[in-house]
Amino acid sequence: MRRPLEDVRVVAIEQFGAGPWATLQLADLGAEVIKIEDPSSGGDVGRYVPPYREGEDSLYFETFNRGKRSVSLDLRSPVGRAVFEDLVRNVDAVYSNLRGDQPAKLRITYEHLAPLNPRIVCCSLSGFGMTGPRRAEPAYDYVLQALTGWMSLTGEPSGPPVKSGLSLVDFSGGYVSALALLGGVWRARRDGVGCDCDTSLFETALSLLTYVGTWAASREHVTERRAESAHPSIVPFQAFRTADGWITVAAAKQKFWLGLCSALAPELAEDPRFADFEARAEHREELLSLLRPRFLAASTESLIARLAEAGVPCGPVNDVLGALEDPQVEARDAIVEYEHPVLGTVRHPASPLRLGTEYRRAPTRGEDTEAVLRELCGYDDDALARAREGGAFG
């Protein structure tokens, strides 16, 4: 079977994490992603992120850019701009992750590019969007976790606010913008007219407040941090210390609560203080004071065996290496690998999309410049020479 997006072409003006993560999803689904790299700055800054970096190659860059093509192009030079416009005529979308004021300044919005290609979809993922008082502000994941309330929800009640261990605002923003781009391309093919997709990390992070945001917006509810990474309203739904580590348990349904009781504390099943969700939330500390010693008295492995037999969702708190060694990883081929001419063997967590992904290394900077321009724009040797002499490629 052909891969789902084999007939989609995207020009990407991107760097670092959020934007490249978005177009990686498209590339994994078969889209031709043409990554524009500025020759004056050495291309995507992700090429130089340590550790495990050699020259312009790094495992960080590989993570976000496998399967793409790289074109070295100076968009600020007149000849480079002309080359870019030739590309726009032959692609479905222009994707960027720049500050919100930059798409207009670089003339990469639908208003600027529609005369070249009325079906073009111009997707921007910025910190705060292309309008509003913050549109020109730079934004990074950690700042946005603070600004949108995430850090107020994370960590122990008596400790400082804590960020997520991963850049989840960036990666979620990548998913959101990739979905918006595909929606725009679908509509453009149906209706013959492209559009701007103005997405932002800020609004992505706000949307991911989900029910906590709904509680706050509807009833001015302030969700408090709970010890042991506990759920704000469902009990028990949290981490417990064991004799040799930590375990997480999620009694998110009444049947899971009853299963936990049968595995660890049968007498609690008939206790009226813990009869249902509301009662367990009301008597949270009483219940946890009874459960914690049961967990602390046994090993993680034995607890998981007992709880799993009772049908209770649970799992150990692994480190990253432990997570990658889970037997489910091997069973699902969830790690893929390929050889890189500089970095040697590169192993990735596989794409979760599972729609015919083919894995190949990330491109060297500018590796595909001539090939892309010949294939898409019909450039011959003379046209390439003129562009080179005019400074289009740096």
In a domain, 4, yes or no: no
Q: Say which of 38, 170, 196, 198 is annotated catalytic.
A: 170
In a domain, 191, yes or no: yes
233 and 283 share a domain? yes
Q: How far apart are the two ends of the chain, measured CA to CA in Å?
A: 40
Measured distance CA(148)–CA(313) in Å, rounded:
30
29 and 129 share a domain? yes
In a domain, 337, yes or no: yes
In a domain, 135, yes or no: yes
36 and 156 share a domain? yes
Q: Within 10 Å of residue 178's Cβ, how many Cβ atoms?
A: 25
Parallel, antiparallel, or unpaired: how do β-strands 335-340 and 344-349 relate? Answer: antiparallel
Domain coverage including residue 160: 9-208+333-389
273 and 298 share a domain? yes
- Spatial contact of 58 and 161, defined as CB atoms under 8 Å apart: no
Query: Which portions of the chain are predicted below pLDDT 50?
Result: none
Q: Which of 201, 213, 223 has its CA nearest to residue 99?
A: 201
14 and 104 share a domain? yes
Predicted pLDDT of residue 183: 98
247 and 121 share a domain? no
Largest CA distance in the chain: 85
349 and 297 share a domain? no
Tens digits of residue pLDDT in 43-82: 999 999 999 999 999 999 999 999 999 999 999 999 999 9
- pTM for the model stands at 0.94
273 and 236 share a domain? yes
Predicted pLDDT of residue 1: 85
In a domain, 327, yes or no: no
Predicted pLDDT of residue 97: 97
195 and 56 share a domain? yes
In a domain, 219, yes or no: no
Q: What is the CATH number of the domain that holds 308?
A: 3.30.1540.10
Write down which residue in 283, 317, 351 finishes a domain: 317
339 and 295 share a domain? no
Q: Which of 348, 389, 385, 352 has its CA nearest to residue 370?
A: 385
53 and 177 share a domain? yes
* Total tally of structural domains belonging to the chain: 2
Q: Within 10 Å of residue 158's Cβ, how many Cβ atoms?
A: 7
Measured distance CA(33)–CA(91) in Å, rounded:
10
Write down which residue in 317, 346, 362 finishes a domain: 317
324 sits in which H/E element: helix 320-324
In a domain, 55, yes or no: yes
Respond yes or no: is residue 170 known to be catalytic: yes
Tens digits of residue pLDDT in 299-336: 999 999 999 999 999 999 999 999 999 999 999 999 99
Tens digits of residue pLDDT in 108-121: 999 999 999 999 99
In a domain, 256, yes or no: yes
Q: What share of the chain is helix, strand, coil (3-state, %, to 5)?
A: 45, 15, 40
200 and 82 share a domain? yes
Measured distance CA(162)–CA(20) in Å, rounded:
26
